[in-house]
Each structure stands twice: as C-alpha cells, then as structure tokens.
Amino acid sequence: MASPQYEDESINMVTTFIDNQAPNFHHVFAVPSSFNRNTMTYEPPEIRDLRETLLYQQQRARKYVDFTSDLTTCSWDQVHEELKKAQTAALESERRGRNPIRKAFRAIGNTSSILAPGLSALPDDLCILHGALALIFSLARHSELNRVKILGAFENVPNIIEMARNKAKTFPLDNDNPKSVQLHTKVRLLQDTLIKSFPPLINKLVPSGFLSSLHSPFGGWNIDKILDEVKTHADSVRICAEGLIEDIIVGSYSAQMTIKSQLDEILQQNRMIYMSLDAAHQGKTHLFTFLMDQLNVNTHGIGGLGYYLPPNTARGSVDQTDLVSMRGTTLLGYTAEDLLRIMNVNHLRITTDEIHVLRKHASLPAAEIDRATRGIMSAPAIKELLSVAPPASPDDVGPGPGVVSIEGHFDRTQITQVTALSYVCAVLSQALRQQSEQQAYMYNLQQSSSKSPTGPGSPTSPFGPPDSPFRPPTFSPSIVLTYFCALHTSSDDPLSGPQGLLRCLTTQLLLSLLSNDLISPSAPLDLPNLTSRGSQDGLTSEDDLVNSLNIHALSRLFSALVNTLPASTPIFIIIDSLSSYERDELNAESGGTLRQAYDAVLDALITSMDAGNIETGGNCVRIVITSPTRSRWLFGEEMDDFEGDKLGKGELGLEGYLLEGGRISLRGMGMGHGHGYNPGGNGVRGEKIRGVGIERASTLPAGHDTGKVGVMEGGASLDMGYQPGAAHDGTRHGQHQQEHVSAQYAYGAQGWGEGHDRRSSA
C-alpha cells in the first residue's frame, strides 16, 4: 500500500498534468474548474467559491456555527435541526412581544413559492448547499432582528430540496425530446445561480462588526435584489416543467384516443362476426321451421308426425288446408327477449305500482276498506274464482275460465285515484303468489316422494312411468298478472291507457313464462295460434303491427302467449279501476279510438278465455276486474240489469264467462251488517291443515293485528279481521287502529284433503 506522501505526490502530478497539458488534447479540458481532494472530483468555480465562503465564515463567525465542525459536509438532519431551533426562537420572540417589524417584512416569505419548482429539481448530492442552508438558519437563530425575515424567505427550502430526488425521476433527461433537454438546461442554470448567490448572501447576513450587527442586511430590500436572478431562473424552470407536463398529458390523451379507436374497430368487427353467426343460426332456424312445415303438411299422419288437434278430433277428418291455417304464420324467429324489447316495460315499475298501492292503506278511509273487504271476500263468486287445486289425474286440466266484476260505487272524484278496491286487489295478488308457490312446492314434493307401488313414480301408476309422454307435468305455480289503471292516467305516462295495460300484462306473462322455465329466453317462440289478421289488404304484416305496438296486434299476441301455457297452470289477471279509462270526452276527441282500444283489451281477455275453456282442454284463465264507479263500457250501457248467472258462456262475450253472482256491487253496503271489528287481535292466527301443513298469510306492515282466518272446503278464504257477534258503531275505528288483511288458502277433496282436519271461522 502506497504511503500518504506518495499518494499526495501522485495526485499533485496528475492534477498538474490535467491543468496544463489536457487542454492541448481537447478544448473541453480548458473549462475553469478546481479539484476537490475530499471528494476526488473536479468542481465548477462557483462551488469552490461557495465552499471557501463557508470555510471563511466558519472561522470568522464561529459563534454562529456551533452545530458542526465542517460546513462542507453538513447533513440534512443538521439542516432540519437548525431550522427547528430558528423557528423555536422566533416563536419565543413573538410570545414576548419583541417582534415589532414582523408584518412589514412578511412579504419576503413569498419568495419560497417562487424558488420551489427550481430547488426541487436540484441534485441531492450537493452537500455544499446543505451547509449554506444550515448556516443561514443558524444566523436566523442568533439574529433576533432578522430572524422572521430569514425564516420567511428560506424555511420551506429544505422541504422543497428533499423532494428533488422524486422530481428528477419524474422528468429524466431525454435527448430526443427538445423540451426535456431545455428543462434540464434551465435546472442547471438555476443550480449555478443558487451556488453563485449564496456566497454574497451569506456575507451579507454575517455581521462584520458592531455597527454592522445593528443594521439589518435586508435594508432597502437588498434580499430581493440578491434573489432576483434566482427568481427569474426558478420561474423559467416552472414554466418549462408545466409545458412538458402539458405535452405529456396531450400525448397521453392522443395515445389513449388512438387505442380507443382501435379497440372500437376491433369491437365493431366482433359485432359483425357475431351478427354473421347469429344470422346463420337464424337462417338455419327458419330453414328448419320451413322444412318441418312442409314435412308436417305433406306427410301428415305418417310416422306419428302432424299438428296437435283438439281432443276428440280425428286426424282423417281435418283437411290439409285446415292444418296450414292452424299453424302460426307471424313472428317467426322472434324470441322472448325480442318481445320484451318491443314491449319496452320496466318490470320494476310493475312491482313498484303494487307496493305504492299497499302503502296507501293508511290514507284510505277505514269505512271504505271495510265495505270493500266484506263485500268482496264474502262473495261466493270470489271464493269460486280462487278455488284452484293441483291436478288429481292426468285428465284433470283445471276448473276452466271465469270472470268476476266488482263495482265500488265510490265518489266519482276518485276515478283516477287509488281506492280501497285497489288496496284489496294488491293484497289479493300478493296472497295468490304466496299460495301458489306453496301449493306447487307441496304438490311436487308429494309426487316425487311417493313410495307406493302405484304411486305417481311407479310404472303401474295411472300417471304412467316417469318417462311416459302421458305423464302430467309437475304442477307449476299460478301466474298472477296485475295492472292498476288509476296509477297510469297521465298523458305523459308511457304505460297509460289500454295500450299500456296490454304491454304490462304481456311483459308480466313473458317474465312468468321465463321464470318457470316454460320458454327459453333466446330460442324462437312457437306461437301456433298467432296468424296475421292485421290489415285486410295485406299491406301491413303482423310483425310490423307488433313492432309499432298496434293495440289489436298486442291483443292477438297476448292471447297467443296465453295459449302456450300448460293446461295445469292457472293464470289470474287482476285489473283494477278499469273505469278510469272510460272517458267519453277523450273518446270523442280521439274519434272513437279510445273505445276501440278499450274493446281490444276485452277481446284479448275473451280470446284468452276461449282458448282456456275446459271444454277444449285449454288453460284456467281467471279474471278480476274492478271499477271504483259504475262501469259503463265493460258490459255496455244496455247491460245495466244484467244477471251474470242467467247467460251461458260465449253468448255475450266477456259477460258470458261471468261466474254465478260474478257481478258484485258494493252500493249500499255499509258498516254494521252483523260484523264487528275486533281490535284485540294479536296477529295472524292461521288454521293448520294437519298432514299437508299448507298455510299462507299475507299481512300488512308489522304491528298490525288481524283476526282469525277461515279455511274453505276445497277452496280459499280471505278474512279481513272481522268476527260476528262484536258490536260496531258503523262510523269509526280507534285512532290507532288500522285495517289488516290476511289470506289463507286450504285445498280440498281431490288428491289433497282425504282424512285431513278442516276448520272454518264463522
């Protein structure tokens, strides 16, 4: 290892050679610089001057440099420590009230915000600047007169310089980017300016004698003059950095938009590919349908092929042309999703309507709820309408269709408002859904768990083996469709009027078919009963009429969808306040269009029940229509004295399906008819059917009491909390009592009730 003396001689020889001979090799070596033996590096003259200034002032003003023995190797911790000491001294002076001129020089602190962009970009390895800052803060600590002004100008500088490393990484030097080169050039100029400015600034701050220590170095704003050049370069660095950032943002946005356009193009190509594939699938589906049509028409009766014929109809008795007419000719290839998109009904709106009606119970007169409840739920026609039991045999297809009409005879001002009838309809629809789900679950569970040799699952069962085509399907829950006309009377409501009514019913029916897995959401629908009857001249197809939401096309579509239901699936349709659409003045303004649309709704219901007639083996369609006032259009003005039980089905249209006593009027039905309100109830007390255990109770919000619920033999009973024998004044209930509704269904004889206990409330 070489001795220190030999090493010093080597360093001197090399530095002498570089200083004297190196410029002859290249002019870059002629740049003025000085060699620092501590760091073994060449430094600019400015750094040498700053170092010499620090060393000189350290010797000259030793009392101010009591925190380190060498200012040139000062650390960041020492800088922060001196800053903290100076701030503590300033706070102490302020507390003692010995700072009379602080406000006058507060503006000097603004220079720190100007210096920030430039100082933050300085390299972190310039420890010489650390020493300069530490000396400045030490001077501030020892100079009570200038303490506040020095801190105002420099106390934020250390924090700014500490961020230099991260800032430098944000904008690395990029020789291909002129603005990046320009930024680093300006940072270098700022660095040189700071190094040049610190020596005279320190010399100005350090008092040279007794008189100098009495005068402020900031007199005449000399500090601003010293820092003017620093401010200029710092501002240029800030502007350049902002421009570079803006270019980066613009470039990033441009690149992002380019990527987005490319992605959009890719997505568009994917859509085209998907549409091509979908068109191919639809084409194959149309081809399959066409070939099957031809095969069924041309080879009818061969190999078991042929169309479904009504019961007791011989195939040989049907002509070939009749078979073609029995096949649907419209909406070929349409799926359930297509029809839902055409209907354009938000299914949440339907649920919201029902909830809105239920929440109205508190604002409805108790007397009207009493009248509607007793008048409806005590009617035999309602009990018959709700009596739907699971099939007892393969030939059991249900009790057939039926209609019940209820006229409230309320004040005509309520024709467009929610009434007590609306409230009862909402409760009834909820109870029907709950009852049907429980009924279907218990029936299917009973069928699947039967272990008897002749049970439904055995080969010897009258239902046939499990894979037998004659075996009946599992019992599906009832389908409940509701529409509250009073909530859709506004002219700006897209679901108002007869057209909105049919769209809502069709949407609910499609969703029910989908939820019960009776149809596929994406497979083309098979609507064998839907044929084009739109325009007699053939200029407008049924497809176009459905897409344009033609009221007559919607009527035909609804009845065709009802025909797709299995024979064992009951469907309940509850239409409340239909008389809200019986507006003679609006009908006159529309030239009779409103009445035609109204009749189209009735046609849809009649056609659905025609298909649902038990005599043709169709579905069980059961309809409840309410009117807050006397209905004038439902059965026609000439039907005022009509008695529903005197006419046969099909003779007078809708009224032909009225059940016995099915036209219910609440006129004159007041309080106090032998029924009393029982305020002492303690919730739903449903009667239990031993062995089957089916009970469903639909109640109003928690906290409301209901009376005893009765159970009808083979049917359903809904009691609204009234019991006989209790006195009632017929005028009012207690302030804190409200009407409550409970519903319970028990099912009777066929396949359900043999040997079960049944009870009934009075």
End-to-end distance of the chain based on CA atoms, in angstroms?
120
3-state secondary structure 164-229: HHHHHHHCCCCCCCHHHHHHHHHHHHHHHHHHHHHHHHHHHHCCCCHHHHHCCCCHHHHHHHHHHH
pLDDT in tens, 465-511: 444 444 445 566 789 999 999 888 888 888 989 999 999 999 999 99
Average pLDDT over every residue of 560-584: 86
Same domain for 615 and 496, yes or no, is yes
Tell me what pLDDT residue 77 has. 76
Contact call for residues 525 and 339 (beta carbons, < 8 A): yes
Q: Which has more confidence, 180 or 28? A: 180
Same domain for 131 and 218, yes or no, is yes
Cα(355)–Cα(701) distance, rounded to whole angstroms?
A: 11
Quick one: tokens of 468?
A: 């037998």
Cα(324)–Cα(307) distance, rounded to whole angstroms?
A: 9
- Tell which phi-psi region holds residue 538, choosing left (phi > 0), alpha (psi between -120 and 50) or beta: left
Residue of 532, 601, 600, 518 lying closest to 561 (CA atoms): 518
Tell me what pLDDT residue 292 has. 67
Does 267 have pLDDT greater than 60? yes
Tell me what pLDDT residue 1 has. 54
Quick one: tokens of 401?
A: 């269709």
Quick one: tokens of 196?
A: 């040049």
* Residue 259 pLDDT level (bands cut at 50, 70, 90): very high
Q: What is the widest separation between alpha-carbon atoms in the chain?
A: 136
- The pTM assigned to this predicted structure is 0.46
Cα(737)–Cα(728) distance, rounded to whole angstroms?
A: 14
Q: How many CA atoms lie within 13 A of 710 on its CB side?
A: 19
| Residue that the structure tokens 């859509």 belong to | 271
Tell me if 300 is assigned to some domain. Answer: no
CA trace torsion 530, 533, 537, 538 (10° rounding): -10
Tell me if 282 is assigned to some domain. Answer: no
Tell me if 63 is assigned to some domain. Answer: yes
Average pLDDT over every residue of 197-209: 66
DSSP for 634-648 reads SS-GGGTT--GGGS-
Same domain for 761 and 623, yes or no, is no
Does 759 have pLDDT greater than 70? no
Cα(675)–Cα(377) distance, rounded to whole angstroms?
A: 13
Tell me what pLDDT residue 303 has. 33
Of 243, 259, 275, which marks where a domain is finished? Answer: 259
Quick one: tokens of 291?
A: 């070939």
Average pLDDT over every residue of 564-588: 86
Tell me if 277 is assigned to some domain. Answer: no
Average pLDDT over every residue of 565-579: 86
Backbone angles phi, psi at 467, to 5 degrees: -95, 15
Residues comprising the chain, all counted: 762
Q: How far is CA 629 from CA 25, 407, 577, in A?
A: 114, 6, 8
DSSP for 109-130 reads GGHHHHHHHHHTTS-TT-HHHH
Cα(428)–Cα(406) distance, rounded to whole angstroms?
A: 14
Tell me what pLDDT residue 382 has. 87
Same domain for 207 and 166, yes or no, is yes
| Residue that the structure tokens 């149309």 belong to | 286
* Paired residues of 742 in beta bridges: 719
Tell me what pLDDT residue 482 has. 94
Of 216, 238, 259, which marks where a domain is finished? Answer: 259
Burial class (CB in 10 A: 0-12, 13-18, 19+), 717: buried
3-state helix, strand, coil in the chain (%, to 5): 55, 10, 40
Cα(599)–Cα(593) distance, rounded to whole angstroms?
A: 10
| Residue that the structure tokens 């200012």 belong to | 71
Which three-class secondary structure state does DSSP give residue 717?
strand
Q: Which has more confidence, 667 or 548? A: 548
Of 259, 274, 307, which marks where a domain is finished? Answer: 259
Helix (H) or strand (E) holding 556: helix 551-562
Same domain for 249 and 374, yes or no, is no
Helix (H) or strand (E) holding 381: helix 380-386
Tell me if 297 is assigned to some domain. Answer: no
Same domain for 72 and 23, yes or no, is no
Tell me if 244 is assigned to some domain. Answer: yes
Does 358 have pLDDT greater than 50? yes
Name residue 426's amino acid.
Answer: A
CB-based contacts of 404, cutoff 8 Å, min separation 6: 379, 381, 382, 385, 623, 624, 625, 658, 659, 662, 663, 664
Contact call for residues 146 and 205 (beta carbons, < 8 A): yes
Same domain for 233 and 135, yes or no, is yes
| Residue that the structure tokens 């800032």 belong to | 167
* Residue 517 pLDDT level (bands cut at 50, 70, 90): confident
Q: Which of 398-402, 528-532, 600-604, 746-750 has the lowest mean pLDDT?
A: 746-750
Supply the mean pLDDT for the chain.
Answer: 67
Contact call for residues 563 and 611 (beta carbons, < 8 A): yes
Q: Which of 316-320, 556-560, 577-581 has the lowest mean pLDDT?
A: 316-320
| Residue that the structure tokens 């096309």 belong to | 553
Name residue 2's amino acid.
Answer: A
Cα(666)–Cα(628) distance, rounded to whole angstroms?
A: 10
* Mean pLDDT comparison of 626-630, 707-711, 718-722, 729-733, highest-scoring range: 626-630
Q: How many CA atoms lie within 13 A of 405 on its CB side?
A: 25
Same domain for 12 and 154, yes or no, is no
Burial class (CB in 10 A: 0-12, 13-18, 19+), 303: exposed
User: What is the gyration radius of the CA atoms in the chain, in angstroms?
Assistant: 47
pLDDT in tens, 137-176: 777 777 666 666 666 666 555 555 554 445 555 667 777 7
Tell me if 249 is assigned to some domain. Answer: yes
Quick one: tokens of 197?
A: 């400015």
Same domain for 156 and 90, yes or no, is yes
* Mean pLDDT comparison of 3-17, 258-272, 367-381, 434-448, highest-scoring range: 258-272
pLDDT in tens, 94-142: 676 655 434 333 333 444 444 444 444 445 445 566 677 777 777 777 7
* Mean pLDDT comparison of 369-373, 387-391, 406-410, 553-557, highest-scoring range: 553-557
* Mean pLDDT comparison of 161-170, 643-652, 678-687, highest-scoring range: 161-170
Q: Which of 447-461, 468-482, 592-606 has the lowest mean pLDDT?
A: 447-461
pLDDT in tens, 711-732: 333 333 343 333 333 333 333 3
* Residue range(s) defining the domain that contains residue 751: 681-762
Average pLDDT over every residue of 588-600: 89
Residue of 487, 480, 516, 471 lying closest to 423 (CA atoms): 487
User: In the chain, how many domains are there?
Assistant: 4
Cα(524)–Cα(108) distance, rounded to whole angstroms?
A: 81
Same domain for 101 and 201, yes or no, is yes
Does 735 have pLDDT greater than 50? no
Does 673 have pLDDT greater than 60? no
Tell me what pLDDT residue 597 has. 92
Same domain for 612 and 557, yes or no, is yes
Same domain for 746 and 598, yes or no, is no
Q: How far is CA 488 from CA 353, 493, 603, 632, in A?
A: 10, 6, 21, 20
Tell me what pLDDT residue 342 has. 92
Cα(694)–Cα(688) distance, rounded to whole angstroms?
A: 7
pLDDT in tens, 522-567: 888 888 777 665 444 454 678 888 888 999 999 999 988 988 887 7
Does 27 have pLDDT greater than 90? no
Beta strands in 566-701, from DSSP E residues, in sequence order: 570-576, 620-627, 658-665, 675-677
* Paired residues of 675 in beta bridges: 724
Quick one: tokens of 575?
A: 């239409």
Burial class (CB in 10 A: 0-12, 13-18, 19+), 335: middle
Q: Which of 21-35, 115-129, 271-285 has the lowest mean pLDDT?
A: 115-129
* Paired residues of 716 in beta bridges: 745
Tell me if 330 is assigned to some domain. Answer: no
Cα(720)–Cα(738) distance, rounded to whole angstroms?
A: 11
